[in-house]
């Protein structure tokens, strides 16, 4: 089973990422360093392409690269750990995503109101209070802004 090793560029192209990104993921601990040729060139097993697709999928689901690194790690040595990573983390991420959707919907409402009100100069509106824009600090009265 020595016929299928892939070089950096081949892996990158197959997974649809930049070759530099591979090195970056090694640095970030998302990919293990593969074996090397005598001359020092990396030689990847074909599964690496799958690993990259997994990483990209997780990113699309809103996980940061640090979180992805955790997930991969958790998947790796999940040999009887009580952790059971993926489920719990997916649920947590789901909550985050739902919060973000709610936030954006608030923003949407506000924009709609602003358009309806037809105001045309922010400073003038702020002065005359004709405008429904939330000039007061939302971040103190409502939910915290430092969360996202």
SS (H, E, C) 62-122: CCCHHHHHHHHHHHHCCCCCCCCHHHHHHHHHHHHHHHHHHHHHHHHHHHHHHHHHCCCCH
Does 70 sit near DNA (CB under 7 A)?
Answer: no
Binder of residue 98, out of DNA, a second copy, none (CB less than 5 to 8 A by kind): a second copy
Footprint of DNA on 30-59 (CB under 7 A): 37-42, 59
DSSP 8-state code for residue 44: B
- 35 neighbors 43 (Cβ within 8 angstroms): yes
Compute how many residues bind DNA; rule: CB under 7 A: 21
Minimum separation from the CB atom of position 104 to DNA (A): 15
Footprint of a second copy on 118-137 (CB under 8 A): 118-124, 126-127, 133-137
Footprint of a second copy on 3-62 (CB under 8 A): 16, 47, 50-51, 53-54, 56-58, 60-62
Q: Does residue 80 come out as left (phi exceeding 0), alpha (psi in the -120 to 50 range) or beta? A: left
Residue 143 φ/ψ, nearest 5 degrees: -75, 160
Considering only the stretches 4-12, 21-29, 31-39, 138-146, report the one whose residues sit in contact with a second copy under the rule CB under 8 A.
Answer: 138-146
Minimum separation from the CB atom of position 74 to DNA (A): 17
């Amino acid at each position: 089973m020595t016929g299928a090793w892939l070089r950096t560029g081949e892996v990158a192209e197959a997974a649809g990422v930049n070759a530099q990104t591979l090195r970056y993921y090694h640095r970030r601990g998302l990919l293990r360093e593969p074996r090397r040729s005598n001359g020092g060139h990396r030689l990847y097993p074909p599964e690496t392409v799958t690993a990259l697709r997994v990483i990209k999928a997780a990113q699309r689901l809103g996980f940061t690269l640090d979180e992805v690194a955790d997930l991969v790690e958790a998947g790796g040595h999940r040999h009887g750990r009580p952790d059971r990573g993926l489920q719990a983390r997916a649920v947590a991420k789901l909550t985050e995503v739902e919060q973000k959707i709610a936030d954006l919907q608030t923003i949407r409402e506000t924009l709609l109101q602003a358009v309806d009100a037809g105001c045309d100069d922010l400073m003038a509106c702020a002065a005359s209070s004709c405008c429904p824009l939330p000039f007061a600090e939302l971040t103190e009265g409502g939910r915290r802004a430092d969360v996202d």
